[in-house]
């Protein structure tokens, strides 16, 4: 059972990194640092969008308009950190 919890913690940590990569890539595209006509950039951007958008969309729908500032990745990262903390402090010690 601890092995399953370890896998869940690793997946949550990996998802945090994917959220950060998605935010950074969106900034790079917005400031014309990278070009989405490049096939590799387009593939990476599409992958990151498909992975992160289903989680970010409901939060964006709930959040009020902040004038072009998207804080939904920060909110998701805080939720993931909270889940990791609950698993580490309360569930993991009680599993044999």
Report pLDDT for 36: 92
pTM exceeds 0.85, yes or no: yes
93, two tokens: 């010690």
Is residue 28 within 8 A of residue 12, CB to CB? The reply is no
C-alpha of 38 from chain center = 24
pLDDT tens over the chain, length 96 residues: 999 999 999 999 999 999 999 999 999 999 999 999 999 999 999 999 999 999 999 999 999 988 888 999 999 999 999 999 999 999 999 997
C-alpha of 81 from chain center = 11
Q: How far apart are CA 8 and CA 93, in angstroms?
A: 15
Report pLDDT for 93: 92
Residues written for the chain: 96
């Amino acid at each position: 059972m601890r092995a399953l919890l370890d896998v869940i913690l690793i997946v949550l940590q990996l998802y945090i990194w994917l959220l950060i990569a998605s935010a950074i890539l969106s900034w790079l595209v917005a400031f014309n640092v990278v070009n989405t006509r490049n096939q590799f950039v387009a593939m990476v951007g599409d992958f990151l969008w498909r992975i992160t958008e289903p989680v970010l969309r409901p939060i964006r729908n709930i959040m009020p308009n902040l004038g072009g500032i998207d804080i939904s990745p920060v909110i998701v990262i805080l939720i993931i950190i909270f889940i990791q903390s609950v698993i580490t402090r309360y569930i993991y010690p009680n599993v044999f």
